[in-house]
Structure formats: structure tokens, C-alpha cells
Structure 1
Amino acid sequence: MKPVFQLSALFVSAGAYGWLAYATPRFSFEQLLLLFALAFGAYVALLKSGLALRWGLLAALLLRLLWLPALPALSDDYHRFRWDGLLFTQQVNPYQYRPDELVETSSPAAPLALQAAVPELVQPIIGQLAELYPRLNSPQYYSVYPPVCQAAFGVAAWLFPTSERGFVLVLRLLILLAEAATTGLLLALLRRFGQPPQRALWYLLNPLVIVELTGNLHFEALVTNFLLLMLWLLARGRAATAGAALALAVATKLLPLLVLPLLLRRLGWRPAGWFGAGLLVTLALLFGPFLSLELLENIGRSLNLYFRNFEFNASFYYLLRAAGQWYTGYNQIARIGPALALVVALGGLLLARTEWRPTWATLPHALLLLLTLYFLLATTVHPWYLTPLVALSVFTRARYALVWSGMAVVSYAAYRTTAYTENLGLVALEYSVVLLTVVLDTSQGRLSPQPTGPLTTAESGTATESGAVGRAAGAL
């Protein structure tokens, strides 16, 4: 009966993902919620049924391939990806101009002085940019995507300069390659730390991971891969190349810089020097082609806007915002946002200072706690931001990250109208369930670092069962 049950759960998953990929617009929240709930229920059922690792790996691949020809329906960020990629192909610095600057100054009605400000290299693609412009969700902001993302956008736009679907296909294949490498790293690290490789399925079959990374083309897939690569290299004593791996993660999204305080006590002075050299040299190589005073100013403006203006699906920040409005009569985000960021920075230093017996095996646990603090205090928490938490939780006994990955979908209620009005009742429900799970994890001792050591007899059986598939994936 178990194989029949597992096969049924996989068919439910496939049906839900197929409907999400091809027949669910973002504004159809009730349909999205129902299909995601079906997929998440099937996910929990598969994990509890003891699905064999080799079948779980095959299912993870096939469920991702379902999305291959689909355009992202739940996110419009890929239009900005394509915009930046088109600029990249024309050797125009995507950080130098806002979209509204390029399109408005290219209009025949614009003064000649403004038209002269548009670089000549943009002229061959100005028609495509004008067509893309109405689809952009933030045309008045400078690009916030670091160099690794820009390189990916540029390659996709170079291969398919006039095809939206072709552009999306290239990015999706890149994300699939990153997820394949993540699979190998998860299996290799779980074995190295004496934990059952079956746990990799917690991440690989997770609906939020599949929908937001493969489906919606978010580059947390690469961030997770580079962070795991860093950990694997550090565990093998390769400090310089581990620093380069972290640089790749930072050049995909700046958030991985938070890991630095957690590395100091683990590295020692000489390895820390090699790690720092690898990090700085690689960052210089990646950011160097874009580097200018203008770039630093524009990135500074974007970060300032992020911490002082943007708010979405937040938890403690919304409580502080309400208190600030009650006390002063207006939104205090300009003060609260930076203050919360400072609390996270101090929390990272405190965690690094107070860790008991820090090892490479306990680094995922420590980073999970630090990123959790960051997201609980952040002013903006889009669902895909949480996918690295799911990957890190694989190495721990904590369950709250998995629960959070199931609850975050309620934030899509904001997209039911073009006004993007959040349902604060649903936000409160999301974080109430998450915080309750944190309390349960704490009371049951699941938030303490997990002891590592040789595999038990049962776990060794699981590892043997995966056989050549696991070893091949571990070599990626």
C-alpha cells in the first residue's frame, strides 16, 4: 500500500504544480492557496511515508521539469531581469540608469538635451526597452541585482534578444543546474556530518522551493548553492576557494555577508587570511567591471530605500510601526528599519561570541538562527527569501523553517488587486503559526545544535539504499 500512497501523493503534487504553472494568475489568490495547500500536504505525506531517496531525487527533478516552458505567472520580476540583460548585451552598465530615465529621455517629445544623455549603445534596443517598460514593477529604481545575476541576465538576453520565452528558458535551465549542484552538496554534507542523506528531500521536494525558485526564477537558488559550496570547501580545509564561493553568493545577493561573524572562531588566523583573500579578490573581479562612484551612490540609494521605504509581509516591524504611528502620528519606517538592521548585526556578533564549541557541522544551525532573526525583524519578507532557511534546516532538528515555507504563501493575498493591499489578519496568522512552532521546537530541544557522528544502523541503510545516485550527486 505504501508505494500506491506515495505514487498518489506524487500525482497530486504534479497536478498542483501543473495548474500553478499554466493556469493560475497571481491575482487568483484562492486558487493559488488551494493548489499550494495540496502540494504542501502531498509534500508532508511523502516525507512521513519514508520515500526512498532515489525516488525522491527523481521526483524532485520531474516536478521541476514541469515548469520548463512556462512563463512565471506569480512574479513579474523577470521583466526587470530581461531589461538589465538587454542593457548588459549592449555593454551598458545596468546600475547607471533607471528605466524611467532611459525611456523618457528616448521619447521624441523629450528635449534634445535629455535625448543626448541616452548612451548611443542603447539605441539598437530602445524599441525592446520601450515595450518592456510598462511591465516593470519598479521603473523608478536603480537595479538591485548584483553581478552574478547580471551575468546570467546578459547571457540569456544575448542568446534570445527578442524572445521572452527563450530568455526565461535559459534562466530556468541555469537554476536547474544550480539545484542539481545543491542536491549533490546536500547529500555530501549530510554524509560528512553523520546525518541521514534522506533529509535532503526536505529541501528538494519543498513546494516553496520548487514554486519560487524553478517556477518564479528567483536567484536564491544560486545563493543557497554557493553557501553550501562554501561550507563543503571549509569542511575540507580549502579556505581560499571557500572565500571565493562566499564571494559568488554575495555577488548574487548581499545577504550572505551575515555569515562572516560566524566564521571567525571556526577558521583561525591563517585560514581566515586565506579565506579573506579569496573573498576580496573574487569580489573585486566580479564587481570590478561595474565599479564607479555612480554605482556606489546608486546602490546606496537602493539600500536606503529598502530599509527606509519598502515594507511587505513583516512581523515585529509591523508591531513597531503601529506603535510608532500611535505615538507620533506617522510611519516611522525611516528610523525603525535601520534600527532593526543594527539589531540583527549586533545579534550576529553576539551569536558568534556565545556559540558553544563552534564547528563546521554546527555552522548551518548557527546561520539558520541568524537568518531567522534577520527575517523576523525585516521590513520586507517575500516568500522566496525563506528558501535558504529550508536548506539550512536540513542539517538541524528544527521544524519552524518548513512550517514557515508553508505559511508564507498567504502573503500573496496582497496581489488580489493592483493596489497591493496586504491582509494584516493573514500576516498575523502566518507569524503566529511560525512563532508557535519556534516555541515548540525550543521546548522539545530541537533548536539546540544536533550532535554529529557516525551514521546509525538505520541511517546507514538509507545511505546504502541511495547507492550510486547519491555518490554521483555528491560529486557535483
Structure 2
Amino acid sequence: MFNWSATRFLQLLALLLSALAYGALAYVTPRTQFGQLLGLLAVAFGLYIYLLKTRLPLRAGLLAALLLRLLWLLALPGLSDDYHRFRWDGLLVAQGVNPFQYRPDEVLANPVKARVTPSDSTISQQSTFKQQLPAAVNQQLEILYPKLNSPHYYSVYPPVCQAAFGLASGIFPTNERSAVLVLRLLVLLAEAGSAALLLALLRVFGQTLDRALWYLLNPLVVVELTGNLHFEAFVICFTLLALWLLVRGQRYWSAGALGLAVGTKLLPLLMLPLLVRRLGWQQFARYSAVTGLVVALLFLPLFSLDLLRNINSSLTLYFSKFEFNASVYYVVRAIGYHLTGYNEIAIIGPALARTTAALALLLAWREKAAIWATLPRTLLFTLTIYYFLAIVVHPWYLAPLVALSVFTTYRFALVWSGMVVLSYAAYQTSAYLENPWLLALEYSTVVGVLVWELASKYQLETKNKE
């Protein structure tokens, strides 16, 4: 009895210390203070590991996951300035202005903008008319513009995100903290959905329910999704919903859920090749058609020829200009520098994207057991390949890996979720200079754990065959 009480007491103490760490991260830790950020997250991860090792009871863990997220309720995001662009796009959406048509510098230069609406006859025929934005909105845009990290680029946020931005800015067009609160409540709602779906899927797959805490208590997930308002929370929720509906045999509803995931971020498209063998070609074609239809309907209110052109422009820039916390790309870039004397990102970026697509198709084709229970594992490795070959890997990108690892025996994603904080060292100065030694430490640790896990699994399978 004493040991049980001692363990519970230490778990309670660990949760209280976690709350103190999160409170400091939420309210007194700008991303420029890398030492403070690293120390607090190290404490949070250490306590997270302790809670998992000592088997924190599920109910206590679920309550703690909620309370630790509620700590951020009144905080402004301190580790990401993306929320300024969220408000910018939201202000335009709330006024009926298509955020995909105009760059912020264009809007600021001429606040009289066009409202685009489909005509009754056809989607491709649209009427455009000039509309003067309200003075209060123009004033907010003037305030926001200097805070934007990409004022010369078109928006890259799909329609589900834009709907959330428009809702928050529509309700609170001039109140930054209140608009952020609305977005955070939406993220919390998505996280609650993910919690319920994790438990439901674990139950269906015959796995222990406390595995859900690996995701729900993960510091990266808490800090980056609830804290910094990244919409991977919606991607995870809709993707889990799609998987749960597939397991239940509700394929068309599942396709709709996957369409919502793609309408939040395009990355869930990588799940489609993994469904071919599970559904068969005929059912797969129908599933893909429904998914595509849902995505098209989501984009419909924002559709224009400019939309296609500007999204293509944004994607081209993404794969040929931006770089952050990459691994394979930085090695190939160094080779390119040695051979040509130039940064060959315009060639390397698209080439790595094509390689990712080819490897994803190969993985889907070579998968041994194409059943629903193995889908999370295969999707985990598909996304891992994507991130290893990506030229931009922001910390919050890894949240889906943490969610998928819940259903597997692999822990490299949990290790990566802890090591990726090293990438924040780049924000210590306004020049955003990355530390190659820290990046080497991050990726060598992650790759080392992954190789060890794969080798251990191979040895176990070989032993079982004998």
C-alpha cells in the first residue's frame, strides 16, 4: 500500500512540475531565449517519460492532458508568429475577400480589394467588384503587416484553416487575444476528438488504452498544437476519424473525413496509396473520388483561376526556396555546393519531393500485411520518409508521427518529438542561423534509435522463424 501511495504521490508531483514548466513556456518564454526554452522542455519531457514509465492511470492522464492544455488558454503563441498570418487571412475571409488572390503587400498597397463569388452558370465564370474594407479592418491590417513572416507570398493555408481564421477574426476583428482564444478553443475541440478516436481505435485494435497518453501528454503536442495554434491538430483528428470509419466499414464517410484532413493540410494525400490493396481498385477509385469531391467543395467558395496559379506559385516557392531543420536535403545541398558552387535548392527540392512520392508508392506496393491494424504503422513510415527528405521540418510537423506511433511498437517518433526542440536554436538571432552541430545531434539520435528498433524487430522475426 505504501509503494502504491508513494508512486501516486510522485506522479502528482510530476504533473504539478509539468504544469509549472508549461506555465513558464506559455507566458514568460520567447523563442529567442533558447536556453530557457530548452531547459523547460527538457524538464517537461523528462516528467513525461516518468509518467509513462510509472503507468499513470488513464483517467488521471486524460484529466491532466486537458488541464495542461487549459494552462495556455489566455497566452499568445510565443514560439511561432504564424498566428499573425492566421489573423490576416481571417480578416480578409470575414470581409468576403479571397485570401488566395492577393499577397499581403498587394493588400496593403491598395486596401480596395475584390470579392470573388461563383456565378450561377458555372464555377469558372466569376464576377469581381471593388469593395472598400471597413476602416477598422484596414487599421488592423496595417498593424499586422510588420509582424508577418511572409508578406510577399500568397497564403498557403487550405480552406478548413481559412474557415477557422475567418470565424475567429469575424467575431473579434480588432482584439488579438480574443481571436487567438477562439482559435485555441477550436484546436482544443480537435484535440478532444483525437483523444476519443485514439481510445476507440486502440479498443478496436485490441491494444491497451493508456497508449493514448503517449500522444495526449507529449510535450511537443501540447506546446505546438494547443500552445502555438498549429492546425496539425485538425489533420490528426480528421485522419484518425477516416481510419476509424474505415475500420467500421463506413467507406464513404471515411473518404469525406480524409477530404477534410486534406482540406486542412495536403499531407494526408500520402495515405491514399496505402488504401489500394486494402480496398481493391474499384472501391479505391470510389473512395478517392469522394475524397476529391469533398476537397473540391471545400475550395469551391474560394475558387478562381488565380487560386490555381497562386497555390502553384506557393508550392513552387516551398520546394525551391525555404529550408529549415532538414536532414538529407542539407547533405545533398552540401554536395551541390561542392560540385557547382551554388545552392541547387531549385533542383534538389523538387527532386526530393519526387523521390518521396516514389518511395511512398514502393512502400505501399511492398507492404506485407495490408490490413487496417497495420495502416497506422505503414503511414508512420511513409510520413517519416517524407520528413527525412523534406527541406522544411518545423517541430509541429512531427505531431502526426507521435499520434501514429501510439498504434505501433516504434518509439523513434517520440524521441524525435523531444530532439526537434534543438531546431529552435535558429531563432536566437534575427538572422535565423541554424546550428549544424545541433541538427547533427538531432538527426543522428533519431536515426540511431530508428535503426536500433528496425534491427531489433528483424532479429525478433528471424528468431521466431527459427
- TM class by shorter-chain length? over 0.9
User: How many percent identity over aligned positions?
Assistant: 62
243 and 10 in structure 1: CA distance in 2 versus 1, 3 angstrom threshold:
same
Which runs of structure 2 are paired with 1:223-302 in the superposition (5 Å)? 223-302=235-314
* Counterpart position of 2:421: 409
* Counterpart position of 1:159: 171
Give the residue type in structure 1 aligned to 2:103.
Answer: R
Contact in 1 for aligned 2:278/2:371 (Cα 8 Å): yes
Contact in 1 for aligned 2:111/2:132 (Cα 8 Å): no
Contact in 2 for aligned 1:240/1:277 (Cα 8 Å): no
* Counterpart position of 1:131: 143
Contact in 1 for aligned 2:105/2:151 (Cα 8 Å): yes
For structure 1, the 5+ residue unaligned runs are: 108-116, 450-476
Shifted more, 118-127 versus 19-28: the winner is 118-127
Q: Does 1:307 align with 2:319?
A: yes
SS in 1 for 2:32: coil
Shifted more, 120-129 versus 187-196: the winner is 120-129
Which runs of structure 2 are paired with 1:140-179 in the superposition (5 Å)? 140-179=152-191
CA distance in 2, matches of 1:6, 1:118: 61
Q: Does 1:328 align with 2:340?
A: yes
The CA deviation at 1:443 is: 1.6
- Residue of structure 2 aligned with 1:68, choices 51, 68, 73: 73
The CA deviation at 1:200 is: 0.3
* Counterpart position of 1:420: 432
Contact in 1 for aligned 2:187/2:234 (Cα 8 Å): yes
CA distance in 1, matches of 2:384, 2:328: 12
CA distance in 1, matches of 2:266, 2:164: 17
The CA deviation at 1:270 is: 4.2
CA distance in 1, matches of 2:139, 2:33: 32
Contact in 2 for aligned 1:230/1:245 (Cα 8 Å): yes
CA distance in 2, matches of 1:129, 1:119: 18
CA distance in 1, matches of 2:132, 2:214: 47
TM-score by length of 2: 0.92
Give the residue type in structure 1 aligned to 2:148.
Answer: L
* Counterpart position of 1:89: 94
Alignment deviations for residues 329-376 of structure 1 (CA, whole Å, 9 cap, x no partner): 000111111111111100011011111120011000000000000000
The CA deviation at 1:128 is: 1.1
Q: Does 1:188 align with 2:193?
A: no
Alignment deviations for residues 13-68 of structure 1 (CA, whole Å, 9 cap, x no partner): 10100000000011000000000000000000000001110100010000000000
For structure 2, the 5+ residue unaligned runs are: 1-5, 113-127, 462-466
* Counterpart position of 2:330: 318
Contact in 2 for aligned 1:203/1:209 (Cα 8 Å): yes
TM-score by length of 1: 0.90
Structure 1 residue runs of 4 or more that deviate by more than 6 Å after TM superposition:
446-449
Alignment deviations for residues 369-407 of structure 1 (CA, whole Å, 9 cap, x no partner): 000000001000000000000000000000100000000
- Residue of structure 1 aligned with 2:131, choices 100, 104, 120: 120
Q: Does 1:25 align with 2:30?
A: yes
- Residue of structure 2 aligned with 1:382, choices 375, 394, 397: 394
Give the residue type in structure 2 aligned to 1:404.
Answer: W
CA distance in 2, matches of 1:387, 1:137: 22
448 and 393 in structure 1: CA distance in 2 versus 1, 3 angstrom threshold:
farther
Alignment deviations for residues 125-150 of structure 1 (CA, whole Å, 9 cap, x no partner): 21110111011010000000000000
SS in 2 for 1:444: helix
Q: Does 1:80 align with 2:85?
A: yes
CA distance in 1, matches of 2:242, 2:315: 26
RMSD value, Cα: 1.6
Alignment deviations for residues 159-189 of structure 1 (CA, whole Å, 9 cap, x no partner): 1111000100000000001000100100000
Give the residue type in structure 2 aligned to 1:78.
Answer: Y
63 and 448 in structure 1: CA distance in 2 versus 1, 3 angstrom threshold:
farther
Give the residue type in structure 1 aligned to 2:325.
Answer: N
The CA deviation at 1:311 is: 0.3
Contact in 1 for aligned 2:111/2:133 (Cα 8 Å): no
Q: Does 1:53 align with 2:58?
A: yes
Shifted more, 437-446 versus 237-246: the winner is 437-446
CA distance in 1, matches of 2:76, 2:101: 28
SS in 1 for 2:166: helix
Alignment deviations for residues 56-107 of structure 1 (CA, whole Å, 9 cap, x no partner): 0010000000000111111110000000000001100000000011112359
* Counterpart position of 1:218: 230
SS in 2 for 1:15: helix
SS in 1 for 2:133: helix
Q: Does 1:38 align with 2:43?
A: yes
SS in 1 for 2:173: coil
SS in 1 for 2:373: coil
SS in 1 for 2:74: coil
* Counterpart position of 2:118: none
54 and 163 in structure 1: CA distance in 2 versus 1, 3 angstrom threshold:
same
Give the residue type in structure 2 aligned to 1:239.
Answer: R
CA distance in 2, matches of 1:168, 1:118: 31
The CA deviation at 1:121 is: 3.9
Give the length in aligned residue pairs. 440
121 and 148 in structure 1: CA distance in 2 versus 1, 3 angstrom threshold:
farther
Alignment deviations for residues 249-288 of structure 1 (CA, whole Å, 9 cap, x no partner): 0110011111111111101244324312321221121011
- Residue of structure 2 aligned with 1:365, choices 377, 384, 395: 377
153 and 147 in structure 1: CA distance in 2 versus 1, 3 angstrom threshold:
same
Greater RCO (CA < 8 Å, at least 6 residues apart): 1
234 and 227 in structure 1: CA distance in 2 versus 1, 3 angstrom threshold:
same
